[in-house]
């Protein structure tokens, strides 16, 4: 299961959407250079309020471009970076990956998937109904969160649109993704 990077985005402030870039630099143990969520400890404002010393498992946010396609087909106007992601991918089933999967991006960068992005009300502030559009139930009645995955940077490097993504699954038994 290999894919491609379709867009990269970052933002220096805690705004909902991030600006598309020609290139972002991932820094090992920190995240996206210059991004508001960069750091060893948590930077998400609600999590900082609870415990600012907890480790930052949300250094990099990845969304699959296939979700954007699905949302556009449902009548939403969404493009890369607008849902706050740093890296937009195509061809990788991000939501089907187990915890601990390593994503090799471009020449040197490696991101380890830590869990699912838990969608929040900011999605509805961006476009009414968007939050419910990224949540659904599966056949067993379990909640499915479709708004991407979060990860930490194991190895730094530059990431650009067009870069290849190589997926390395962790050793079994695999742990399913949970919200982080």
* SS3 state at 87: strand
pLDDT band at residue 40 using 50, 70 and 90 as cut-offs:
very high
Q: What percent of the chain has pLDDT over 70?
A: 99
Segment 127-167, tens digit of pLDDT: 999 999 999 988 998 899 999 999 999 999 999 999 999 99
CATH number reported for the structural domain that contains residue 14 in this entry: 2.40.33.20
Q: What is the number of structural domains in the chain?
A: 1
Segment 44-86, tens digit of pLDDT: 878 888 898 999 999 999 999 999 999 999 999 999 999 999 9
Residue 64: inside a domain: yes
pLDDT band at residue 2 using 50, 70 and 90 as cut-offs:
confident
Q: Is the distance from CB of 19 to CB of 11 less than 8 angstroms?
A: yes
Residue 133: inside a domain: yes
* SS3 state at 176: coil
Buried b (16+ CB within 10 A) or exposed e, 41-53: ebbbeebeeeeee
Residue range of the domain that includes 98:
3-168
Paired strand residues for 7: 88
Segment 169-179, tens digit of pLDDT: 999 999 999 99
Residue 119: inside a domain: yes
Residue 178: inside a domain: no
Output phi, psi for 101, to 5 deg.
Answer: -60, 140
């Amino acid at each position: 299961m290999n894919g491609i990077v379709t867009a990269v985005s970052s933002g220096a402030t805690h705004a909902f959407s991030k600006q598309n870039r020609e290139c972002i630099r991932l820094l090992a143990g920190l995240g996206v250079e210059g991004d508001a969520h960069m750091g060893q400890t948590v930077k998400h404002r609600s999590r900082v309020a609870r415990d600012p010393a907890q480790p930052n498992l949300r250094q990099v946010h990845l969304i699959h471009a296939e979700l954007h396609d699905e949302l556009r087909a449902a009548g939403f106007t969404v493009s890369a970076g607008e849902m706050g992601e740093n890296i937009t991918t195509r061809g990788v089933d991000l939501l089907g990956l187990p915890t601990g999967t390593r994503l090799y991006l471009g020449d040197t960068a490696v991101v380890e998937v830590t869990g699912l992005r838990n969608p929040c009300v900011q999605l509805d502030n961006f476009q009414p109904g968007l939050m419910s559009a990224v949540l659904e139930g599966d056949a067993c009645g379990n909640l499915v969160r479709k708004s991407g995955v979060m990860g930490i940077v194991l190895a730094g490097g530059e990431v650009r649109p067009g870069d290849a993504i190589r997926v390395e699954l962790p050793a079994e038994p695999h742990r399913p993704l949970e919200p982080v």
